Amino acid sequence: MNKGLFISVEGIDGAGKSTHVNLIREYLESKGKTVVVTREPGGTELGEQIRNLLLHSHNMHHNTELLLMFASRQELIDKVIRPNLEQGVCVIADRFVDASLAYQGAGRGIGMDKVYQVMNWLEPVLKTDLTFLFNVPLSVAFERVGKNRNKDRIEKESIDFFTKVQNAYLDIASKEPGRMKVIRTNRPKHESREEIIRHLDGLLKKN
Q: What residue ranges bind ligand TMP (CB under 6 A)?
A: 13, 39-41, 69, 95, 99-100, 103-104, 154-155
Closest approach, Cβ 103 to ligand TMP, in A, equals: 3
Closest approach, Cβ 87 to ligand TMP, in A, equals: 24
Of the pair 155, 204, the CB lying nearest ligand TMP is at: 155
Closest approach, Cβ 201 to ligand TMP, in A, equals: 26
Residues 6+ apart with CB under 8 A from 41: 47, 50, 51, 54, 55, 68, 69, 72, 73, 95
Of the pair 5, 69, the CB lying nearest ligand TMP is at: 69
Closest approach, Cβ 65 to ligand TMP, in A, equals: 7
What is the C-alpha end-to-end distance of the chain, expressed in Å? 13
Of the pair 45, 206, the CB lying nearest ligand TMP is at: 45
Closest approach, Cβ 30 to ligand TMP, in A, equals: 25
**Enclosing H/E stretch for 203:** helix 189-206
Of the pair 40, 75, the CB lying nearest ligand TMP is at: 40
- Whose CB is nearest to ligand TMP? 103
Of the pair 88, 111, the CB lying nearest ligand TMP is at: 111
Side by side, which strands form the sheet with 90-94? 35-39, 90-94, 6-10, 130-135, 180-184
Q: Which of 78, 183, 166, 155 is nearest to 122 (CA)?
A: 78
Secondary structure (3-state) at 107: helix
Sign, CA dihedral 177-180-181-186, equals: negative
